[in-house]
């Protein structure tokens, strides 16, 4: 009797292999197969929900290799939540992709990769040991590489996928060393043993492990300074951006820190680092989001910022709050990306917001979808995002970090500003889709990147619209699970799984929770109003073309170059690495390796020359050789004594 948990885990792998192997035969059916299998996994998770929704959950040991080295799966409250999101939202995105990739000839390969990603992510969250975690971690990075570079004929996509993979590998070294250290220090790879022995770890090892794990999390979750791959990852198809770079893969870092809560709880230094980096990312992402003109890049920076919120939340010890924000963010970010995908698809692969405008009249469904998502992300009252964001921000205050609290409030205002900037520019005002590029100050190369227009899609509209419609419900309502504070279903679901953090210094300011919420709402309102006056008001819309052009030309260089982070990395790391590679190719390869091989060949030739001299056919020479041999014999027997 195969355990349902194993079925849950392996079904997407089967789908990936089938779609990969029988792609040409399956054709469009590959998409249906992949989606169905994703929902099969979702159904398994739902069936296991009653048993699994607690701290121990359902376990299944797969392989026992040596004592202290057993591989298995465990579906407990934390991994169950992630599994439901991965398979549920993932399944919806699969269906959406059937429509999005309707005319793409390589669609079967796409679905193979998507299912493979599901399998990889499930491996990551379902493992009950650090080695399985590491394996899933690497596989997820690989899946991301495949999917970002899916349209591999485009050099920009290839470069972006390579960049994402390299930065992820950088993080992988951090988490790898942390895993090695954990095994060396505790002698076991399973979470249960490690957490049981966590108290016996020396402080230095503990902090190093936590920091190593966080380096991996920072790369995977696009925290500063390892964030530069995320905006470039938008070169992939929009469903990929929705699934991987919004809802699931980038949240793997959050999962990691939440999973290792027992370790972080007793290591205040590491927690401070985590929450600080999360806070910095939060603010940076929001500021950079103001300066973007590509609709997907706006959403990418907003993702970066929101994950900063999550990281900050779990960094200060407010695990339930941080994970709640992951939960709500998965829905409304997927909603935003899929809606943006509908817009992009309808406009023939146009992604620049300057070339959109007034689309509320043309595409009301997409407009309402994106409006709902935007309201959720800024934390509009009663929308899902507000509950989670307020919980995170207040959690920072409760844990005694007034600076992070202020940063969170400020970021909420900036988020409101740039998200509504997007809404107003895209959906309001005059229709600018036919305005020539120069008038809007769009540089020519940016055009060519999107020059391949998708052929007009003949896909049934419901394929792309139904998932978006379905996502509207949790976008609005997902946060309602946490109403009621510690007695709410959300908090009771997790129970005492996360323990309490040592880093809690107690509330620094005596502000009750509802007062904090009012402060946040006020800041958000300010942001919306500023955006309205700049972009949404009738006065602004009349001169929209000139205003947008002026804004594009007047953008400060620091913002345009994303605070120069890419340039710094290029100068400090990429160029020396390239120089080293060139040096090896130009110097080591010909002079050392080739020369070595050549010298071996030369040696053979030289030996041959010597041998040839001996074989000259002259009797005298042969006689001399015989005498020489006899002399050697005599020497041996004379010196060492014969007859032994």
Residues forming contacts to other proteins in the complex (CB under 8 A) are: 611-612, 615-621, 623-624, 627-628, 630-631, 634-635, 637-639, 642
Q: How far apart are CA 631 and CA 629, in angstroms?
A: 5
Q: Strand, helix or coil at 559? A: helix
Q: Which is closer to other proteins, CB of 55 or CB of 634? A: 634
Q: Which is closer to other proteins, CB of 455 or CB of 624? A: 624
Q: Which is closer to other proteins, CB of 1 or CB of 618? A: 618
CB of 625 to other proteins, least distance (A): 10
Q: Which is closer to other proteins, CB of 538 or CB of 617? A: 617
Q: At what angle do helices 364-378 and 402-427 cross, to 10 degrees?
A: 170
CB of 636 to other proteins, least distance (A): 9
CB of 601 to other proteins, least distance (A): 21
CB of 637 to other proteins, least distance (A): 6
The torsion region of residue 57 among left (phi > 0), alpha (psi -120 to 50) and beta comes to left
Q: Which is closer to other proteins, CB of 21 or CB of 630? A: 630
Q: Which is closer to other proteins, CB of 564 or CB of 628? A: 628
CB of 619 to other proteins, least distance (A): 5
Quick check: 334 and 93 in contact, CB under 8 A?
A: yes
User: Mind giving me the DSSP string for 245-292?
Assistant: IIISGGGHHHHHHHHTHHHHHT-HHHHHHHHHHHHHHHHHHHHHHHT-
Q: How far apart are CA 239 and CA 117, in angstroms?
A: 13
Q: Which is closer to other proteins, CB of 542 or CB of 621? A: 621
Q: At residue 252, what are phi and psi to the nearest 5 degrees? A: -60, -30
Mention every residue, 6+ apart, whose C-beta is less than 8 A from residue 536: 420, 423, 424, 428
Q: How far apart are CA 303 and CA 288, in angstroms?
A: 12
Q: Which is closer to other proteins, CB of 505 or CB of 631? A: 631
Q: Which is closer to other proteins, CB of 192 or CB of 630? A: 630
Tell me the three-class secondary structure of 56-111, residue by residue.
CCEEEEEEEEECCEEEEEEECHHHHHHHHHHHHHHHHHHHHHHHHCCCCCCHHHHH
Q: Which is closer to other proteins, CB of 47 or CB of 626? A: 626
Q: Dig out the tokens for 84 from the structure.
A: 């439901």
CB of 639 to other proteins, least distance (A): 8
Q: Which is closer to other proteins, CB of 557 or CB of 612? A: 612
Q: Dig out the tokens for 409 from the structure.
A: 């409030």
For residue 70, which of 22, 129, 11, 17 has the smallest C-alpha distance?
129
CB of 615 to other proteins, least distance (A): 3
Mention every residue, 6+ apart, whose C-beta is less than 8 A from residue 125: 78, 79, 82, 83, 86, 136, 255
CB of 576 to other proteins, least distance (A): 55
CB of 623 to other proteins, least distance (A): 5
Quick check: 217 and 255 in contact, CB under 8 A?
A: no
CB of 603 to other proteins, least distance (A): 20
Q: Which is closer to other proteins, CB of 382 or CB of 637? A: 637
Q: How far apart are CA 503 and CA 261, in angstroms?
A: 12
Task: Report the 10 Å Cβ neighbour count for 623.
Answer: 10
Q: How far apart are CA 42 and CA 58, in angstroms?
A: 16
Q: How far apart are CA 483 and CA 487, in angstroms?
A: 8
CB of 616 to other proteins, least distance (A): 5
Q: Strand, helix or coil at 129? A: strand
Q: Which is closer to other proteins, CB of 580 or CB of 632? A: 632
CB of 612 to other proteins, least distance (A): 7
Q: Dig out the tokens for 95 from the structure.
A: 């269906």
C-alpha angle 467/473/479, rounded to 5°?
130
CB of 606 to other proteins, least distance (A): 16
Q: Strand, helix or coil at 304? A: helix
CB of 608 to other proteins, least distance (A): 10
Q: Strand, helix or coil at 524? A: helix
Using the CB atoms, write b or e for 150-164: b if 16+ within 10 Å. bbeebeebeebbebb
Q: Which is closer to other proteins, CB of 1 or CB of 638? A: 638
CB of 604 to other proteins, least distance (A): 16
Mention every residue, 6+ apart, whose C-beta is less than 8 A from residue 550: none
Q: Strand, helix or coil at 235? A: helix
Q: Which is closer to other proteins, CB of 1 or CB of 619? A: 619
CB of 142 to other proteins, least distance (A): 59
Q: How far apart are CA 562 and CA 143, in angstroms?
A: 27
Q: How far apart are CA 158 and CA 256, in angstroms?
A: 28
Q: How far apart are CA 582 and CA 569, in angstroms?
A: 19
Q: Which is closer to other proteins, CB of 557 or CB of 644? A: 644
């Amino acid at each position: 009797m195969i355990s349902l948990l194993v079925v849950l885990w392996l079904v997407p792998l089967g789908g990936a292999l089938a779609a990969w192997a029988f792609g040409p035969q399956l054709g469009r059916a590959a998409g249906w197969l992949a989606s169905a299998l994703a929902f099969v996994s979702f159904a398994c998770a739902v069936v296991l929900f009653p048993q699994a929704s607690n701290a121990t959950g359902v376990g299944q040991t797969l392989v026992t290799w040596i004592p202290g080295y057993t591989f298995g799966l465990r579906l407990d409250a934390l991994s169950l939540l992630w599994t439901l999101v991965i398979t549920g939202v993932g399944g919806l995105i699969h269906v959406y992709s059937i429509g999005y990739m309707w005319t793409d000839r390589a669609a079967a390969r796409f679905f193979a990769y998507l299912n493979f990603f599901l399998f990889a992510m499930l491996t990551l969250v379902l493992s009950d040991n650090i080695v399985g975690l590491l394996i899933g971690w690497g596989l997820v990075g690989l899946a991301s590489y495949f999917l970002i570079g899916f349209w591999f004929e485009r050099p920009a996509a290839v470069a972006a996928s390579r960049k994402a993979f390299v930065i992820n590998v950088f993080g992988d070294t951090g988490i790898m060393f942390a895993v090695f250290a954990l095994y060396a220090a505790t002698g076991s790879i399973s979470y249960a043993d490690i957490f049981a022995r966590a108290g016996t770890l020396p402080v230095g090892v503990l902090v190093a492990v936590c920091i190593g794990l966080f380096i991996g999390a920072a790369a995977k979750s696009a925290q500063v300074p390892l964030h530069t791959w995320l905006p470039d990852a938008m070169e992939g198809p929009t469903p990929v951006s929705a699934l991987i770079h919004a809802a699931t893969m980038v949240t793997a870092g959050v999962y990691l820190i939440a999973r290792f809560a027992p370790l972080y709880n007793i290591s205040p230094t590491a927690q401070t680092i985590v929450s600080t980096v999360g806070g910095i990312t939060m603010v940076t992402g929001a500021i950079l989001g103001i300066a973007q003109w590509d609709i997907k890049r706006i959403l990418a920076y907003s993702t970066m910022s929101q994950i900063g919120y999550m990281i900050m939340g779990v960094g200060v010890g407010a695990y339930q709050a941080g994970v709640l924000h992951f939960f709500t963010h998965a829905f409304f970010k997927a909603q935003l990306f899929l809606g943006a995908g509908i817009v992009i698809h309808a406009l023939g692969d146009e992604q620049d917001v300057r070339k959109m405008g007034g689309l509320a009249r043309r595409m009301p469904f997409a407009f309402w979808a994106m409006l709902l998502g935007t309201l959720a992300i800024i934390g509009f009252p009663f929308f899902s995002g507000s509950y989670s964001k307020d919980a995170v921000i207040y959690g920072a205050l409760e844990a005694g970090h007034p600076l992070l609290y202020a940063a969170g409030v400020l970021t909420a205002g900036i988020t409101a500003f740039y998200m509504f900037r997007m809404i107003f520019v895209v959906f309001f005002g005059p229709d600018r889709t036919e305005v020539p590029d120069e008038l809007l100050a769009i540089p020519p190369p940016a055009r060519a990147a999107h020059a391949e227009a998708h052929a007009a899609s003949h896909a049934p509209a419901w394929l792309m619209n139904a998932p978006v419609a379905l996502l509207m419900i949790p976008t609005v309502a997902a946060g309602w699970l946490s109403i009621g504070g510690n007695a709410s279903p959300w908090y009771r679901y997790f129970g005492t799984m996360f323990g309490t953090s040592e880093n809690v210094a107690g509330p620094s300011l005596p502000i009750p929770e509802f007062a904090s919420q009012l402060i946040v709402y006020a800041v958000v309102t300010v942001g919306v109003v500023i955006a309205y006056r700049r972009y949404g008001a009738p006065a602004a819309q009349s001169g929209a073309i000139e205003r947008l052009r002026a804004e594009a030309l007047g953008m400060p260089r620091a913002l345009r170059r994303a605070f120069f982070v890419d340039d710094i990395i290029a100068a400090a790391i990429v160029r020396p690495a390239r120089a080293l590679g060139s040096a090896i190719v130009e110097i080591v390869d010909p002079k050392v390796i080739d020369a070595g091989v050549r010298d071996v060949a030369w040696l053979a030739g030289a030996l041959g020359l010597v041998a040839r001299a001996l074989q000259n056919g002259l009797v005298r020479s042969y006689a001399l050789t015989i005498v020489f041999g006899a002399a050697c014999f005599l020497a041996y027997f004379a010196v060492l004594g014969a007859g032994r």
